[in-house]
Amino acid sequence: MTDTLLELLGAVPGALVCFVGAGGKKSSLYQLARVFDGRVGITATAHIEPFPRRYAQDAVVTDAPDLVDRVCAAAEHSRVVAFAKPCPNPGRLLGVTHDELAAIRARAGFDLLLVKADGARGRIVKAPAEHEPAVPPDATTVVPVLSVRALGQPLSERIAHRPERIAALCGIAPGTTLEPTHLAQLLASPQGALQGSAGKRVVPVVNMVDDDGLAALARDIAREALARTDRFDRVVLAAMNRPQPLVDVVTR
C-alpha cells in the first residue's frame, strides 16, 4: 500500500515533490520520507516547524553561506537529511531559496526531495495569496492538500488560512458552512489549489479521511473537482497520520 502511495504522489527516484495547501502537508511529507527506500532530503521554501526528533539529530539548520556544502556533507552519512534556516520567530524555521535547493539537488545525491512549499498557520484549508506558493521551477509534482474535516464548518479563521480568498473563489460569504462543492472548487481553481503549478504534474490529496462517512464526503469532493478541471486525473484520499495512510483513489 505504501509503495502505491509513493507512485501515486510521484515520489519516485529523481523526483522533487512539493506540498501546498493546508491540512496535512507535513504529515504527508514525513509519511513519504518514512516509506521511501532511498536517500531523502526534506526541506521547505516557506516557513516550517522544527523537524521531528527522528530527523533533528542529522538536520542542517543554518543561514551560513556554506549551507549547500553542509547539506551535502550530511547526506554522505544519513539516509534522510532535513534542512532549513533559523527563524527569529519561536517554533518556526525559514525555507531555503530556489537556487540553494537546485544546487543541493544537483550535488547532494538525494534520490528524492520533499518540499513544503506553502504555509497555512496550522489551519486545515486555505487559498493562496498572490505570491504563494513557493514552488521551485524544477518541481516534478505538486500535491495540493486539504482536510475533509473542513466540511460542515463555518468558513472562518478558526479552520481556514486566508478565508476571504476562499470566499471569493467559491462565491460565498464568510461564515458560510463549507460543503463538498466548495472544496472541489478550491481544488480545481487556477487561483486556488492549482496556483503556481503550471507545467507540473498535480495530484491532490484529501486528508484526514478517518472513517467511512468522511470517505463518502471526500469522494464527492474528488469527483466534482475532477469534473471541473483537466489539470489532474486523480485525487488521493488519505489519513496521513496512520501507518497505512491510503484510503482510496478517485479517477475520471
23-32 tens-digit pLDDT = 999 999 999 9
Instruction: Give Cβ neighbours of residue 32 (< 8 Å, ≥ 6 apart).
Output: 5, 6, 9, 11, 17, 40, 112, 114
Residue 1 has pLDDT above 60, yes or no: no
Q: Which of 73, 9, 85 is nearest to 44 (CA)?
A: 85
For residue 3, the model assigns a pLDDT of 62
Place 252 in a pLDDT band, splitting at 50, 70 and 90.
Answer: confident
State pTM to two decimals. Answer: 0.96
Distances (CA, A) of 222 to 43, 82, 125, 144, 237: 28, 32, 15, 12, 8
**Alpha-carbon gap, residue 61 to 27, rounded angstroms:** 20
Q: What pLDDT is stored for residue 27 in this prediction?
A: 96
pLDDT for residue 2 is more than 90: no
Q: What is the mean pLDDT of the chain?
A: 96
